[in-house]
Structure 1
Amino acid sequence: MKKLVLTGAAGNLGAHLRGPLAAMCDTLVSTDIVDNLGDLAANETYVKADVGQMDEIGPLLEGADMVIHFGALVDEAPFEELLGPNFIGAYNVWEAAYKHGVRRVVYASSIHAVGMYPKNEAIGIDVPHRPDTFYGLAKCFAEDLGRMYWEKRGLESVCLRILSCAKVTNPRAVGSWLSFDDMILLVKRAIDTPITGFSIVYGVSDNDRAPVDNSGARHLGYCPRDNAEQFAEEIYASSEPLDPQDPSHYRHGGPFAGIPLGNSAMGLFNFDKDSNDDPS
Structure 2
Amino acid sequence: MAAAPSQGLPAEKTVLLTGAAGGVGTLMRALLPPYGYRLRPFDVVPLPGEPDAITADLNDREALREAVRGADAILHLAGISLESTFEKILRANIEGTYHLYEAAREEGVRRIVFASSNHAIGYTPWPAAGTPRVPVATPHRPDTFYGLSKCFGEDLAQLYWDKHGIETVSVRIGSCFPEPGNVRMLSVWLSPADAARLFHAALTAEEVGHTIVYGSSANTRGVWDLSAGEALGYTPLDDSESFAAKLIAEQGELDTNRPDQAHLGGAFVTDPPIWPY
TM-score under structure 1 normalisation? 0.87
**Local SS of the residue matching 1:96:** helix
Question: Which of 139, 143, 153 in structure 2 is aligned with 1:132?
Answer: 143
2:9 is matched with none
CA offsets per residue over residues 167-205 of structure 1, 9 Å max, x none?
A: 222110111111111011111111111221111111100
Deviation of 1:111 after TM superposition, in Å, equals 0.2
Deviation of 1:245 after TM superposition, in Å, equals 3.6
* Pairing 1:264–2:264 present: no
1:255–1:265 CA contact under 8 A, matched in 2? no
Q: Distance in 2 between matches of 1:233 and 1:246?
A: 21
CA offsets per residue over residues 52-90 of structure 1, 9 Å max, x none?
A: 332221221111110110000111011011111100011
* Pairing 1:95–2:102 present: yes
2:265 is matched with 253
2:5 is matched with none
Q: Where does 1:16-55 land on structure 2 (aligned, <5 Å)? A: 16-24=27-35, 27-35=38-46, 37-40=47-50, 45-55=52-62
Q: Distance in 1 between matches of 2:197 and 2:228?
A: 18
1:248–1:257 CA contact under 8 A, matched in 2? yes
Q: Which runs of 4+ in 1 moved over 4 A?
A: 23-27, 240-243
1:178 is matched with 190
Query: Where does the alignment leave 5 or more consecutive residues of structure 1 unmatched?
Result: 268-280
Query: Where does the alignment leave 5 or more consecutive residues of structure 2 unmatched?
Result: 1-11
Change (3 A) 1:29 1:242: closer
CA offsets per residue over residues 86-138 of structure 1, 9 Å max, x none?
A: 00011011111011100101111100001111111631111111101000000
* Pairing 1:9–2:16 present: no
Q: Where does 1:208-223 land on structure 2 (aligned, <5 Å)? A: 208-223=220-235
Amino acid of the structure 2 residue aligned with 1:147:
Q
Q: Distance in 1 between matches of 2:256 and 2:19?
A: 35
**Local SS of the residue matching 1:45:** coil
Amino acid of the structure 2 residue aligned with 1:107:
F
Amino acid of the structure 1 residue aligned with 2:242:
Q
Superposed CA RMSD in Å reads: 1.9
Pick which of 179-188 and 212-221 moved more: 212-221
1:115–1:131 CA contact under 8 A, matched in 2? yes
Q: Distance in 2 between matches of 1:125 and 1:242?
A: 23
Identity of aligned residues (%): 39
Q: Where does 1:55-70 land on structure 2 (aligned, <5 Å)? A: 55-70=62-77
Residue correspondences, number:
260
1:125–1:217 CA contact under 8 A, matched in 2? no
